[in-house]
Structure 1
Amino acid sequence: MNEPTGSELLRTVDLTRHFKIGGGFSRHNLHAVDEVNLTINRREIVALVGESGSGKSTIARLLAQVYKPTSGEIRFEGKSLGALRGRKQQLAYRGEVPMVFQDPFASLNPAYRVDHGIMRGLKLHRTELSPAERRAEAARVVEAVGLNPAAEILQRYPYELSGGQRQRIGFAQALAYRPKLILADEPVSMLDVSIRIGLLNVMADLRESEGVSFLYITHDIASARYVCDRVMVMYGGHIVEAGPTEDVLQEPKHPYTQLLLSAVPDPRAPLTVDVDTVKAEPPKVVNPPAGCRFRDRCPLAEPICHEVTPKLTELAPGHETACHVAQRAAAGVAG
């Protein structure tokens, strides 16, 4: 029985990942992800937006079980991933939550035809299918991502495909596992602007036709507006703002979100931070002190921003922000 659209699919609880850096006796830790709480619902496309080094890809690799959390928990369909036991359960989860990588030129083995990876994945994750059924399913998923004729595409080598076609094959490989959530890590960033919209449309179409959810990781906030239901903005290992796409992009509460939007002029997105006034100071993520990690770049920073780490707080229905200044302003308006 299919679960209802909009019901919770995945949740993280205080998800944290630190990396030890330096020599064997070093006490330096890089805080890639700190106490992140996020949810992804069924048949939903959620964008995770932020600059390079903000922790976006680390979250994707935590959800894909490439990395283990330093602390915190990931719950999929209400069950903790920490409770998964044995190869069978691990394979089942990885089939339900596959990943599409950034580089379409490195994600396919150049020595094999396109059908090799899809057929191998089907044999591994869908053991109930016969060889003939696997061949039919491979053709179906290739057609589902807009590549025709499927029989011809499956027999090509990767070098015979364009970058956009290769990335579509990446989505087809993931789709072959009958996933519930696809982790798309910067899937269009290495493609020409002219073909990016096509890949975003593939995500939207798969959500409608296959019922799959997406975590769309990107630094391009404009593309998030085009395809996503909700946006989460990440900076220095923290989620600093989250909410429905139009709410976040039309009325950004956090100064960092406003800074991102200043690079994408849009009359629907009122801006209050002048990009020229923001100092280009990178966040301190190695043994970071308490306080907001955006404070050294923020023209609105106050003493409390250097002393207390702000928590995500709901300032409008479904719209959360981790900013002392924004929270105080909202409380003042409410009062």
Structure 2
Amino acid sequence: MTSVNVDQLSSTDSDSAPLLETKKLTRHFRVGRGLSRKMLHAVDDVDLTIGRQEIVALAGESGSGKSTIARLLAGVYKPTDGEIYYQGQALSSMRSRRDQLAYRSDVPMVFQDPFSSLNPAFRVSHGILRSLKLHRTDLTRSQRYDEAERVVEAVGLAPAGEIMHRYPYELSGGQRQRIGFAQALAHKPKLILADEPVSMLDVSIRIGLLNLMAELRRSEGVSFLYITHDIASARYVADRLVIMYAGHIVESGPTESVLANPKHPYTDLLLGAVPDPRAPLTAAVEGDTGEPPKVIDPTPGCRFRWRCPLVVDECHHITPTRRRLGDNHDAACHVAQPDPGEENLAAR
């Protein structure tokens, strides 16, 4: 298969295709040895689309496969099956180092832990300047420094020159995470993969990082895949919400539509787990009767069936596929009901 430079895509193909799309994306891991070797299904048959200048939130419990998807999109893991398309071009066709660097420049990642994602032995400027030297070879040394100051200011840190000369230990957690966004922004990206970027920060400063994502989308034209287990923050910042459970996407749609009219029982469970200051402290989440499944050599059927209050016999034998149940709103559930007028689409 010939290598295709991502910079040589025709404007027609680039404009008509989604920014990034996955089809049947799958990642399995071998666990155990010898006769006890089994297969862990971290991600199975995921179809995901991210448009230009769009913020998509990928939400679910720990272990649902969210971070595995981010690492697949970042090229850290290779898919077991399925394909990732960037601006209409399959990543598997990008064989040369130039093509791979171009993709990684366009789709960088911001990690969860702001305390370990920066090298404590170097000043803050080191990672930003190194990214610029590797991914933007057209810039001179002085231009790289000017651009580094620009991206540091763009993420809300000033004065940029002073911040860049500090070591990571001299910055707060929120400031370190902003530097992580600055390093990603230095690539001139089209899509930033933000893997739970606010989960390790104080509640009081999380809103600032969420506002930063919205501002970068507006000012820099960048899209985001925002991975989170926090439904409230997803509602605040995301255009579309995608819900994952045990390696499957179980529901997706416009954020307000999914939260106001959830179709999948697991989405209901997530919403019920959001603290309500008016509820008694002893209130339990209705229908939550078990733990997430161990996705090692799973059998056919809905993976949520052991916790679902609406389970029927079909759920134990047939894995549900996603169906259109509302306006750009779909869910993978045998018992979910479509909105009025959507019955014909749901049957397809």
- TM-score, with structure 1 as normaliser: 0.94
8 Å CA contact 1:61–1:67 kept in 2: the answer is yes
Matching of residue 324 in structure 1 with residue 334 in structure 2: yes
Deviation at 1:282, TM superposition (A): 1.9
Greater shift, 42-51 or 22-31, is seen at: 22-31
Letter of the 2:328 counterpart = G
Matching of residue 244 in structure 1 with residue 279 in structure 2: no
Question: Match of 1:309?
Answer: 319
Q: Deviations over 1:16-60 (max 9, x none)?
A: 000011104544100000000010000000000000000000000
8 Å CA contact 2:54–2:223 kept in 1: the answer is yes
Distance 1:333 1:68, change over 3 A: closer
Match of residue 73, structure 1, among 83, 103, 107 = 83
Q: Deviations over 1:151-175 (max 9, x none)?
A: 0000000000000000000000000
Gaps of 5+ in 2: 1-10, 278-283
Matching of residue 45 in structure 1 with residue 55 in structure 2: yes
Question: Match of 2:231?
Answer: 221
8 Å CA contact 1:6–1:43 kept in 2: the answer is no
Question: Match of 1:270?
Answer: none
Matching of residue 277 in structure 1 with residue 287 in structure 2: yes
CA distance in 2, matches of 1:187, 1:152: 24
8 Å CA contact 2:67–2:227 kept in 1: the answer is yes
Deviation at 1:264, TM superposition (A): 2.1
Matching of residue 184 in structure 1 with residue 177 in structure 2: no
Q: Report the secondary structure of 1:325's partner residue.
A: coil
Distance 1:333 1:47, change over 3 A: closer
State percent identity of aligned pairs: 69
Q: Report the secondary structure of 1:17's partner residue.
A: strand
Question: Match of 2:274?
Answer: 264
Q: Deviations over 1:173-221 (max 9, x none)?
A: 0000000000000000000000000000000000000000000000001
8 Å CA contact 2:269–2:286 kept in 1: the answer is no
Letter of the 1:58 counterpart = T
Superposition RMSD in Å: 2.1
Q: Report the secondary structure of 1:326's partner residue.
A: coil
Question: Match of 2:241?
Answer: 231
Matching of residue 137 in structure 1 with residue 147 in structure 2: yes
Question: Match of 2:281?
Answer: none
Letter of the 1:212 counterpart = V
- TM-score, with structure 2 as normaliser: 0.90
Greater shift, 141-150 or 23-32, is seen at: 23-32
Deviation at 1:255, TM superposition (A): 0.5
CA distance in 1, matches of 2:123, 2:23: 41
Paired residue total? 328
